[in-house]
Amino acid sequence: MWDYSDKVKDHFFNPKNAGAVEGANAIGEVGSISCGDALRLTLKVNEESEVIEDAGFQTFGCGSAIASSSVLTEIIKGMTLDDALKVTNQDIAAELDGLPPEKMHCSVMGREALQAAVANYRGEEWKDDHEEGALVCKCFAIDAVMIEEMVWANKLRTVEDVTNFTKAGGGCAACHEDIEAILEKVLKERGETFDPNAAPIEKVEAKAEKKPLTNLQRIKKIEEVIMSFRPQLMADGGDVELVEVVDKTAYVNMTGACNGCQMSSMTIAGIQQRLMEVMGEFIKVVPASQMPTAGLVNIKEAGHA
């Protein structure tokens, strides 16, 4: 039984951004259902800034494929295309607190889908460098270029490593000698010696724990999220404003058509959910009417200052 992190399980049972993005202007498709894994990534890109405003995925595959696709969309939202292209399969796995070695190919598929989507947006033809007759693994259509790239990028050492990261060699095994030749070549270039009896690399570990937000950083992020909700509310005759932040509780005022609206509680819940997604910590959003009296007095005094 593979050892899955809590983050992998969460993204599998509660995937983020599942489905196609409405009005997408970038689409990337990789994999093949016949080979067991396929991913379709859709992006909505701001044409002036090239910032990814929304991302969605449709995946055919295992739980790790779903989790990798889900976390990828969370990572790249808000990035420019150039910054998104810097995201590696190691970043995807690390954001999930690691993946079992046997499932690392799922993170590679996510990275390739992103490259394909960016190429699609820019009117370019994305190629996976396959050439007729150059395939190393015919079972899964994996070529030498991809294997070499993965060996370099992930410091792979064994045929088992290559299979875990690319699926090459996972079928009939007829390509194992060719994979060993590639490993020997790349390791020599790295100043290492290929050892056919070496142990495979261990599970890719998570990134170092993120530092907690300062109060100033927390307030700034809360303001940014609330600002993102305002245009839609204002279009319906309402609005929302941040009144105060106390520890990890944000007090807000719903004004205009939102004041007393039956949907205001759902709007507040939506803001809270979005804040937790953006900040990676629990944030409570509460109507200002529930703020402690002392706090309300201070606000009034501030208003008359």
DSSP bridge partners of 44? 54
127 confidence band (pLDDT: 50, 70, 90): low
106 confidence band (pLDDT: 50, 70, 90): confident
Active-site hit among 35, 62, 139, 261: 35
pLDDT beyond 80 at 260: no
What would the pLDDT profile of 157-190 be if each residue is shown by its tens digit? 999 888 888 888 877 778 899 899 999 998 988 8
User: By percentage, how much of the chain surpasses pLDDT 90?
Assistant: 29
Tell me the three state secondary structure of residue 279: helix
User: By percentage, how much of the chain surpasses pLDDT 70?
Assistant: 84
Q: 228: how many CB neighbours lie within 10 A of its CB?
A: 12
- The 3-state secondary structure of the chain, one letter per residue: CCCCCHHHHHHHHCCCCECCCCCCCEEEEEEEHHHCEEEEEEEEECCCCCEEEEEEEEEECCHHHHHHHHHHHHHHCCCEHHHHCCCCHHHHHHHCCCCCHHHHHHHHHHHHHHHHHHHHHCCCCCCCCCCCCCEEECCCCEEHHHHHHHHHHHCCCCHHHHHHHHCCCCCCCCCHHHHHHHHHHHHHHCCCCCCCCCCCCCCCCCCCCCCCCCHHHHHHHHHHHHHHHHHHHHHCCEEEEEEEEECCEEEEEEEECCCCCCCHHHHHHHHHHHHHHHHCCCCEEEEHHHCCHHHHHHHHHHHHC
Please give the DSSP secondary-structure letter assigned to residue 129. Answer: -
To the query of whether residue 106 is one of the catalytic residues in this protein, the response is yes
Active-site hit among 62, 106, 175, 261: 106
If you average pLDDT over residues 84-90, what whole number do you get?
Answer: 89
If you average pLDDT over residues 11-26, what whole number do you get?
Answer: 92
If you average pLDDT over residues 270-286, what whole number do you get?
Answer: 76
213 confidence band (pLDDT: 50, 70, 90): confident
pLDDT value at residue 267: 80
Tokens of 111: 């990275």
> Which of 223 and 132 is assigned the larger pLDDT?
223
pLDDT beyond 50 at 82: yes
To the query of whether residue 62 is one of the catalytic residues in this protein, the response is no
pLDDT beyond 70 at 299: no
Longest Cα–Cα distance in the chain: 80
